[in-house]
Amino acid sequence: EAQVTQNPRYLITVTGKKLTVTCSQNMNHEYMSWYRQDPGLGLRQIYYSMNVEVTDKGDVPEGYKVSRKEKRNFPLILESPSPNQTSLYFCASRPGTGGGETQYFGPGTRLLVL
């Protein structure tokens, strides 16, 4: 089944404890992206990747890191999480870099930073 998977689905951590949220897609998509969803704000893009080893900042990149060493994986790293990073996170992918292409979303990771 074609899908985007994320792990973990739920995570509670404390301020300053490094964490990684994994994202993997099995559709051979070139483009991958991370979003955070907050009430009343919709989804905002954190980082995106046009291809392996090519990443760039989205609208809200502060406090996050990403890497794209393999085409299928795009982990999101929080080096020193803070309470304002408590949010619902979505990974997404799409076939290429065309603006009209459909993005496919993972199930989401709900993060609580105490």
Partner 1 sequence: AQSVTQLDSQVPVFEEAPVELRCNYSSSVSVYLFWYVQYPNQGLQLLLKYLSGSTLVKGINGFEAEFNKSQTSFHLRKPSVHISDTAEYFCAVSGDTGRRALTFGSGTRLQVQP
Which residues form the interface with partner 1 (CB under 8 A)? 4, 31, 33, 35, 40-45, 48, 50, 56, 58-59, 90, 92, 94, 96-103, 105-108
As measured in angstroms, the least distance from the Cβ of 30 to partner 1 is 11
CA distance 106 to 25: 9
Strand partners for 11: 111
As measured in angstroms, the least distance from the Cβ of 16 to partner 1 is 29
8 A C-beta contact, residue 104 and residue 4: yes
CA distance 9 to 71: 22
Question: Between residues 3 and 16, which has the closer beta carbon with respect to partner 1?
Answer: 3
